[in-house]
A and B are shown apart, each in its own frame.
Chain A
Amino acid sequence: MDLGLQGKKAIVVGGARGIGYAVAEILAREGADTAISARGEDSVKDAVAALSRYGTKVVGKPVNVKRADEYKAWFEWAIEALEGVDVLVPLSSAGGGMGSEKYWHNAFETDVMGPVRAIEAVIPAMAAQKRGSIVLVATTSALEAMGGPQAYNAMKASLITYGKQLALAHGKDGIRVNVVSPGPIEFEGGNWDMIKGTMEKFYQSQLRQQPMGRLGKPEEVARAIVFLASEAASWCSGSHLVVDGAFTNRTHF
């Protein structure tokens, strides 16, 4: 199956590590020119260097998505560097946390406004070319209890709603919008890597709840994201795909 990504222009916000990096890697491997961002200069530099081995154009620059002006300028830079944009995967997240109201502000700014501002930045270019694909990344924590009541879960849930509405509104512009909700994903330097080391019992209890007896890997989510982002998914829009190895209990009617 040809994904039709050859020569496409893709932007991955939060593309230096974890699922974001895996998305950027598959995009680059499939022939897409790719721009990535992350918070840290070093991590962006390392990721760009690693992604460049696939021979497509790969650019990157650090940005803090909470700084709206800086973030907007970053998109102008990225679209110019790629000479257009066909694919957007905004993955920024502030992570979890309870016990301070500040976590709500952080999650709103990073998990919600990060994608919202990214979408606003790419819609004009996508609408003008009547072609574009956006994949938002929520979480199974929006669907079922995980880690206690917290901003992360609730804010991520809003992306599922927003993604559907964007798909309805921008179909006429040739823009598809889909949402992927991953379950717990483990990778070096990720949260579950740290939880495995610092809260071993909790980690083991999660493993026991996993029908396949393990957590997911970034590339297992990334492949689903890239599929939805690609031409191969031309009739998928407004969909919400749970990628969790059957971890969640609910039936997704």
Chain B
Amino acid sequence: MDQPVTHKPVTWDTSKMDVKRVVDVIRVSPEDNPSRTPVEKAPDPELGHEVIPAARYYSTEFMKLEWERVWSKVWLLGGRADDIPGPGDYICTEIGKESVLIVRQHDGSLRCFPNVCLHRGNRLRPEGIGNAQAFRCMYHHWTYGLDGKIERLPDRCTFPQGGPPGMTLPSLPVAEWNSFVWFSLNPEVEPFDDYIAPLKEHLEPYRPERMAWKRDVTVEWDCNWKASVDAFNETYHVQGIHPQLLWYLDDVNVQIDCYERHNRYLIPFAAISPRVAMPSTIPPAIDEIMRHAGMDPAEYEGRVSDIRRDVQLFKRANGKAQGKDYSALNDDQLTDDYHYMIFPNVALNVHADDIMLFRQRPHASDPNKMLYDVWVFELVPEGEPWPERAKHRRFKHGDRSIGQVLDQDAYNLPTVQAGMQSESFPGLWIGEQELRIRHFHKVLDDYIYGPGQKQAGDL
């Protein structure tokens, strides 16, 4: 009889790593998972062990290929739907050299247009959110309706050739899903549902529409956008740059799942890393997790190693009374970090009570720079007032703190970007814990060169 195919959640031998303990993490089994979010370990793709060429991080040619074959072809995250609830509400967001307007229509639907006046090319709006009855260009007052049609063209009689084709801004594909809005620069893009698959069932149970803006920050980082994607696609760096997190999460027992173009990993939180000795007192960050759940750490009689499970049980028992409906989530989701990467540039840490999302955008012209957006949303308990939206802030790499952990993440990136340009560095030497990095670059290769068409010597 055939043995059933089973997938161990963790594929490497944790006992042989640089650890002090071997930990058997309690996990929700696929059979007992009440959530639509699957917990099955996806079979690992065979991606080989080749070096990932460093030049793709600084080459302007490769940057051009990325623009032609990725940024201008795929679905991209535009913003939050709750920023544009009413007619005329819009999000103006930029990607590379392009800028788009995502506009709520009178019938509640969304439309997306390039943010450029058809007359002399002026941007119609600066980046940000707002409301407009119509989009009037600040230069010669050409005016566009919410549907993109030109409503007013001053002195039209002086344009013997007539107005631009159709008297309208071109329409771009737009989609609204799970409280976020998405757009594409590619009129021929596949349906959004096909593109996002299989993540709808993964992420919908979190019901992010119940979460409100908590932080909205953009930082101009001095590195290629992919260096940032890579930075959040592996947990191997925790022991290197986040020593404090070793008393907060288990960076060793991490389940990695690669799908067609997206991927994820599942990190136990409220846990002690096997890399450090088990403490007998509750670490400060786990103390915070307990308090946030409504527990009093001083009352806790269990062992530190039991806290993760006990927080899950406590939230399951008390969530409803706190106005927090966790019924669509499994127990692991009540503590752990389900960390998704939506190709090409969205990393999101989804938790039962919050989402921390990073949108990683290329610079318009310099492969050595990028825009790093941090979006944090927090669950608003039922019956509590919706908080005021966090104000958008923007600054340069290192100018201001974005929190201890993210500062630590940001710290090495400029020197990574510099070091990668050394002639002595052929490329990234990637290990098993970094499988998502390899998967991301494989998906990128398939877009750039065609599926499986990358040749030896290609960047």
Contact = CB atoms under 8 A, between A and B. Distances in A.
Query: Do A and B share a complex?
Result: yes
A188 B277 contact: yes
Nearest to A191: B281
Chain B, interface size category, equals 10 to 19
A72 B296 CA distance: 29
B243 to A, nearest CB: 5
B19 interface: no
Interface stretch (B194-202, B297-305, B328-336, B417-425): B297-305
B303 A40 contact: yes
Contact of A97 (B279, B283, B298): B298
B244 interface: yes
B283 A198 contact: yes
B247 A102 contact: no
Contacts of B299: 100, 102
Nearest to A95: B281
A190 B298 contact: no
Contacts of A198: 243-244, 247, 283-285
Contacts of B284: 198-199
A10 to B, nearest CB: 22
B137 interface: no
A209 B139 CA distance: 65
Contacts of B244: 197-200
Given A100-B298, A198-B283, A189 B278 contact: yes
B279 A194 contact: yes
Contacts of A194: 247, 276, 279, 281, 283
A190 B303 contact: no
Nearest to A103: B298
Contact of A193 (B276, B285, B296): B276
A39 interface: yes
Interface string B223-267: 000000000000000000001101100000000000000000000
Nearest to B276: A197
A95 B303 CA distance: 14
Contacts of A97: 297-298
Contacts of B303: 39-40
A139 interface: no
Interface string A89-121: 000000111011111001000000000000000
B415 interface: no
B161 interface: no
Contacts of B247: 194, 197-198
B133 interface: no
Contacts of B278: 189
Contacts of B158: none
Nearest to A194: B279
Given A40-B303, A100-B296, A103-B298, A200 B243 contact: yes
Interface string B267-308: 000000000111111011100000000001111000100000
Given A39-B303, A40-B303, A197 B243 contact: yes
Contacts of B246: 197
Interface in A8-66: 17, 39-40
A27 to B, nearest CB: 21
B281 to A, nearest CB: 4
Contacts of B279: 189-191, 193-194
Nearest to A98: B298
A189 B246 CA distance: 12
Contacts of A99: 298
Q: Which 4 A-B pairs have the closest CB atoms?
A: A189-B277, A102-B298, A100-B298, A95-B281
Given A97-B298, A106-B298, A200-B243, 16 more contacts: A17-B280, A100-B297, A102-B298, A102-B299, A103-B298, A189-B276, A190-B279, A191-B281, A193-B277, A194-B279, A194-B281, A194-B283, A197-B244, A198-B243, A198-B283, A199-B244
5 contacts: A96-B281, A189-B279, A191-B279, A197-B243, A198-B247
Interface of B: 20, 243-244, 246-247, 276-281, 283-285, 296-299, 303
